[in-house]
Amino acid sequence: MKKKVLVTGGTGYIGSHTVVELMNAGFTPIIVDNLSNSNISVLDGIKKITGIEPVFENIDCKDYIALDRFFEKYQGIEAIINFAASKAVGESVEKPLLYYRNNLMSLVNLLELMPKHGIDNIVFSSSCTVYGQPDVLPVTEQSPIKPATSPYGSTKQMSETIIADTVYAYSNLKAILLRYFNPIGAHPSGEIGELPNGIPNNLLPYVTQTACGLREKLRIFGDDYNTEDGSCIRDFINVVDLAKAHVVAVKRMLENKSEKSVEIFNLGTGRGVSVFELVSAFEKATGVKVPFEVAPRRDGDIEKVWADTSYANEVLGWKAQETLEDTLRSAWNWEQKLMSRDGNS
């Protein structure tokens, strides 16, 4: 019998790649998503890659009663991976209550329903945003949690606390909190990838949209930071590598290998790459020029952050494998597929 894993937000960017990796590893993922920031066509992409029709329920995790019914219908779920959340930093500043409602209510509903339905394991999508600007780099899981700089960041910090408190209160529960650095790229098949809603906020989707002429120019936010070339530094992690870490985390919990009831892992490559470096690596990997200009700093940006991955490498037994060049090519491949799809529709 294949083990069932609920993937909330499973049609989203990281969620969809994780569904594919769960299927590849012999699990039966069950997707719950309200399609608020994703497209139903993702299900076709997943099927093309795996040959398996994904199980999908259009449910909003804020709806306790609908979720309760869902768990009645799908008995025997062994673990939950909770991606369902809003993730745009700027939007969260404008609409804080939307973020608190979406991200926290969904989580609280899931946690309340887990004991009721006999589910013990949850993997949570957290973020390196919880560290703010770390004093020491690379950043380890022990680094202090800094005051959040946006409601989005607050929801990630609060969610981690809510999970820890709940696990403490219910002795059967276990959680793994995965702190992502900067996920980029797409599935190598080009069947699934990031689908930004409107003008992209994140760097790489803006780069690929500029490269294909959808945007005139990339704006590089700040060249006067205290870094070698003056631009910010991030740890860009391939989305398939990231997805695989979720499978490892689920197996770890199901095989009772967790050393603590709440474990935290950084998911990054351990390598800091500046914004300028990323753009020139993209140009080199794809042979396509990206017109850009330097613009003022963006409010709330962290100067530099990259992961110490030794704990994830040694204890979780996971390591990022893909090269930056292949990852950038996968993003470009996906962008070109999107262009030809949109052009044909």
Q: Which residues bind ligand UDP (CB under 6 A)?
A: 182, 201-203, 206, 218-221, 232, 234, 275, 298, 301
Closer to ligand UDP by CB, 60 or 235: give it. Answer: 235
Q: How far is the CB of 52 from ligand UDP (least distance, A)?
A: 31
Angle at 75 between CA 71 and CA 77, to 5 degrees: 85
Minimum distance from residue 83 beta carbon to ligand UDP (Å): 16
Helix (H) or strand (E) holding 246: helix 239-254
Q: How far is the CB of 207 from ligand UDP (least distance, A)?
A: 8
User: Please, are residues 123 and 264 in contact by the beta-carbon 8 Å criterion?
Assistant: no
Q: Cα–chain-centroid distance for residue 215? A: 25
Closest to ligand UDP by CB, 132 vs 190, is: 132
Task: Quote the least distance from Cβ 291 to ligand UDP, whole Å.
Answer: 12
CA 288 to each of CA 54, 95, 329, 333, 334: distance values in angstroms, whole numbers, following the listed order? 35, 37, 11, 12, 14
CB-count burial class (<10 Å; 0-12, 13-18, 19+) for 6: buried
Q: Which residues contact 304 (CB under 8 A, 6 or more apart)?
A: 133, 137, 225, 227, 232, 233, 234, 272
User: Is residue 79 within 8 Å of residue 11, measured between CB atoms?
Assistant: no
Cα(first)–Cα(last) distance of the chain, in Å? 40
> Catalytic: 74?
no
Minimum Å gap between C-beta 283 and ligand UDP is 15
- Cα-only R_g, the chain: 19
For ligand UDP, the nearest residue by Cβ is: 232
Given the residues 99, 152, 206, 225, the one annotated as active site: 152
Say which DSSP state 15 is in: H
335 contacts 211 by C-beta, under 8 angstroms: yes
Nearest residue to 174 via CA among 248, 105, 80, 309? 80
163 vs 232, beta carbon nearer ligand UDP: 232
* C-alpha 50, offset from chain centre: 21
Of 44 and 223, the one with the shorter C-beta distance to ligand UDP is: 223
Q: Name the token pair of 304.
A: 């530099």
Pick the closer one to ligand UDP by CB: 109 or 182.
182
Beta bridge partners of 274: 233
Q: For 270, left (φ over 0), alpha (ψ -120 to 50), or beta?
A: left
Active site positions, annotated: 152
